Amino acid sequence: MGVPAHAAPVSGRVPSNPFGLGVASGDPTPNSVVLWTRLAPEPLAEDGHGGMPPDDHTVEYEVARDERFRDVVTTGRAVASAELAHAVHPLVTGLEPGREYFYRFRAGGEISPTGRTRTAPARDAAPDSLAFALASCQAWYHGHYTAYRDMAERDLDLVLFLGDYIYEYGITGANLRRGGTGNLSAAHAASVVTLEQYRLRYALTKSDPHLQAAHAHAPWLMTPDDHEVENNYADDVSPLGTRSEDFLRRRAVAYRALYENLPLSPEALPEGPDMRLYRRLRFGGLAEFNVLDTRQHRDDVPADGGTPGGDHTDPERSILGERQERWLYEGLRDSRATWNVLAQQVVMASVDRDPGEGTEYSMDIWDGFTANRERLFDTLVSHEVANPLVLTGDIHRHAAAELKADFDDPDSATIGTELVTTSVSSGGDGSDRDRLADLWLANPHVKLYNARRGYVGVTMTPSEVTSEFRVLDQIEADDTGTVSVAARFVTESGRPGLNRESGGRQ
């Protein structure tokens, strides 16, 4: 949280090397950006406090137009409190729209690494382009973050992270695939359920230098999925059968650690088990980003397994919750942006996993909430929402799909486009094709399936969106893997769908 620049300094000696978790920025608007750091001289201290004493500390920050900080535009102070694991989230205002800035922190006599950020264009601006990356699913123990090494070398305006920043499973010899990591203490082998354990897991994840570089390279927009709390949870329902009141206590500490460790606005500070994650950011007239939360407010997974006319078709069921649905539809109806983006977690396109005469669907994705999907599609069509673009993570595969008015009729109208990014590391090295490839590609609206690790690079202009599905040959042994492009698509403004520029269907 920020404090006024004239506030009295907080007493307490700051240990040396307190910026072991790096710096970050996020949620850019035309005149503001959130800055983040967390004081942690011993990031892997098992009590979750990063080696900090239980005192509050003053952290100063400065923002400049140049990397050498000769042209400083603003300074301020924030309190790093023990209550929030000595993290700070100053919301820096009064900045110029559409401009690159550099920032750094100071605590005691220590200075942080320098971060680069960029404000959004003015609301009435007409940007020529926007370059951003999509990432998700980064189980630290499954491999190195080579995708972030590549990302940090590219000229990006924004990074969108779409869920599973950490994983809650204990790290043991059975799942540790990341080579060259040495021995982890026994504390990392425990399933993560307490605040101290969540803090430790974030610290382990954020200790990776490539992840720190990607955070320092560009502002992030992020939304969590399930593993930041527990696999496949829905609102207050635990798949493990935990009582609702006990699970909500776990969700409360998980959300607290999530906030402490990411560049989220102070408005996102959780209140118990509740956290406002859905929000809308605009990038001039070019794009409006609707950042969604498909976990905290969803109904539980239906028990019918996707049979025709089953529970998943119930019009009362929602993956977003009534309030978020209403907020989303109102925003889409009022948008005047060229591209209307839904940044969210789980696959929206319908995917029948039975290539025969029967049907088989996953109930954890939008196929388990078909009435909600129909309401969304009806809004897009009836209000002629311009160029819907859905950005998704979760499945540890690259996929690209056309969103159809009727998924059972391949000749029905295409009303939007979905780009699904593979995992950064979850699942290990992967392969171009796996046992699910033929099942996915049997759906004619699915235009790409690739099970390598990597990320998606996107370039958006007023006339088209180019999506580049970047993959790595290996991540398990070390971080020297090479990057290649598995597929490149162009989606033209006014013509939803996918035009492939290179390669065949995979």
pLDDT category of residue 34 using cuts at 50, 70 and 90:
very high
Between CA 387 and CA 401 the distance in angstroms is 14
Going by their DSSP bridges, the two strands 100-107 and 115-118 should be labelled as antiparallel
Residue with tokens 């999925």: 225
Q: Which residue has the higher pLDDT, 307 or 145?
A: 145
Residue 2 has pLDDT above 50, yes or no: no
Residue 11 has pLDDT above 70, yes or no: no
Q: pLDDT by residue (tens digit) across 472-500? A: 999 999 999 999 999 999 999 999 999 98
pLDDT category of residue 1 using cuts at 50, 70 and 90:
very low
Helix axes 195-206, 244-260, angle to 10 degrees: 40
| pLDDT reported for residue 244 | 98
| Structure token digits, residue 181 | 């990591």
Residue 5 has pLDDT above 60, yes or no: no
Percent of the chain with pLDDT over 70: 96
| pLDDT reported for residue 502 | 67
Residue 10 has pLDDT above 60, yes or no: no
Please name the fold of domain 277-506: Purple Acid Phosphatase; chain A, domain 2 (3.60.21)
Contacts of 453 (CB under 8 A, 6+ apart): 143, 146, 147, 422, 423, 424, 425, 427, 428, 429, 430, 471, 472, 475
| pLDDT reported for residue 357 | 82
Residue 162 has pLDDT above 90, yes or no: yes
Q: pLDDT by residue (tens digit) across 186-233? A: 999 999 999 999 999 999 999 999 999 999 999 999 999 999 999 999
Compute the CA torsion angle 17, 159, 5, 95 (nearest 10 deg). 140
Identify whether the C-beta of residue 162 lies closer than 8 Å to the C-beta of residue 188.
Answer: no
| pLDDT reported for residue 3 | 43
Q: Number of helices (H) and strands (E), helices first, in the chain?
A: 7, 25
Residue 12 has pLDDT above 70, yes or no: no
| pLDDT reported for residue 346 | 98
Using CA atoms, how far residue 64 sits from 6, 69, 77, 499, in Å, is 20, 5, 15, 41
The ranges assigned to domains in the chain are 1-119+165-217+224-272, 277-506
Compute the CA torsion angle 432, 438, 442, 446 (nearest 10 deg). -20
pLDDT category of residue 7 using cuts at 50, 70 and 90:
very low
Residue 433 has pLDDT above 50, yes or no: yes
Q: pLDDT by residue (tens digit) across 313-335? A: 899 999 999 999 999 999 999 99
Mean pLDDT of 107-120: 96
Q: Which helix (H) or strand (E) holds 411?
A: none
Q: pLDDT by residue (tens digit) across 271-309? A: 999 999 999 999 999 999 999 999 999 999 887 766 667
Residue 390 has pLDDT above 80, yes or no: yes
Between CA 381 and CA 214 the distance in angstroms is 37
SS3 458: strand
Query: At 493, phi and psi to the nearest 5?
Result: -60, 130
Between CA 467 and CA 421 the distance in angstroms is 10
Q: pLDDT by residue (tens digit) across 407-421? A: 999 999 999 999 999
CATH of domain 1-119+165-217+224-272: 2.60.40.380
Task: Please provide the DSSP assignment of 203-251 as one string.
Answer: HHHHT-HHHHHHHHHS-EEE---STTTSTT-BTTB-TT---HHHHHHHH
| pLDDT reported for residue 305 | 66
Between CA 419 and CA 401 the distance in angstroms is 7
Query: At 433, phi and psi to the nearest 5?
Result: -130, 145
Closest residue by Cα to residue 462 from 125, 118, 30:
125
| Structure token digits, residue 93 | 């205002």
pTM for this model (two decimals)? 0.96
